[in-house]
Amino acid sequence: MKVDVLLGLQWGDEGKGKVVDVLTPQYDVISRFQGGPNAGHTLEFNGSKFVLHTIPSGIFQGDKVNVIGNGVVLDPAIFKKEIEKLETTGYDLTKKLLISKKAHLILPTHRLLDAAYEAAKGASKIGSTLKGIGPTYTDKVSRNGVRVGDILENFDAKYKAAVERHETILKQYNFEYNLAEVEKEWFEGLEVLKRFTFIDSEQFVNDALKGGRSVLAEGAQGTMLDIDFGSYPFVTSSNTVCAGACTGLGIAPNKIGDVFGIFKAYCTRVGSGPFPTELFDETGEELRQRGHEFGSTTGRARRCGWIDLVALKYAIMVNGVTKLIMMKSDVLDQFEVIKACVAYKVNGEETSVFPYSLDGEVEPIYSELPGWKTDMTKMQSEDEFPEEFNNYLAFLEEELEVPITIVSVGPDRDQTIERYTEEI
Angle separating helix axes 108-121 and 179-193, nearest 10 degrees: 130
String of b and e for 32-57 (b: at least 16 CB within 10 Å)? Answer: bbbbbbbbbbbbbbeeeebebbbbbb
* CA–CA–CA angle 95, 221, 84 (5° rounding): 35
With contact defined as beta carbons under 8 Å apart, do 44 and 413 qualify? yes
Give catalytic status of residue 292 as yes or no: no
Q: Residue 71 carries which DSSP code?
A: T
Q: How far is CA 132 from CA 105, 145, 380, in A?
A: 10, 13, 42
Q: How far is CA 74 from CA 181, 194, 245, in A?
A: 19, 13, 17
- Residue 300: in which H helix or E strand, if any? none
Positive or negative: CA dihedral 131, 39, 299, 315? positive
Query: 402 CB contacts (<8 Å, ≥6 apart)?
Result: 261, 316, 321, 322, 323, 324
Residue 120 backbone zone (phi > 0: left; psi -120 to 50: alpha; other: beta): alpha
Give catalytic status of residue 53 as yes or no: no
According to DSSP, the β-strands at 337-346 and 362-370 are antiparallel
Q: What totals of helices (H) and strands (E) does the chain contain, helices first?
A: 11, 20
Helix (H, G, I), strand (E, B) or coil at 140: helix
Positive or negative: CA dihedral 266, 125, 170, 136? positive
One of 41, 53, 104, 110 is an active-site residue; which one?
41
With contact defined as beta carbons under 8 Å apart, do 310 and 342 qualify? yes
Q: Where are the beta strands (DSSP E) in 223-322?
A: 256-264, 267-269, 303-305, 307-308
Please identify every residue annotated as catalytic. Answer: 13, 41
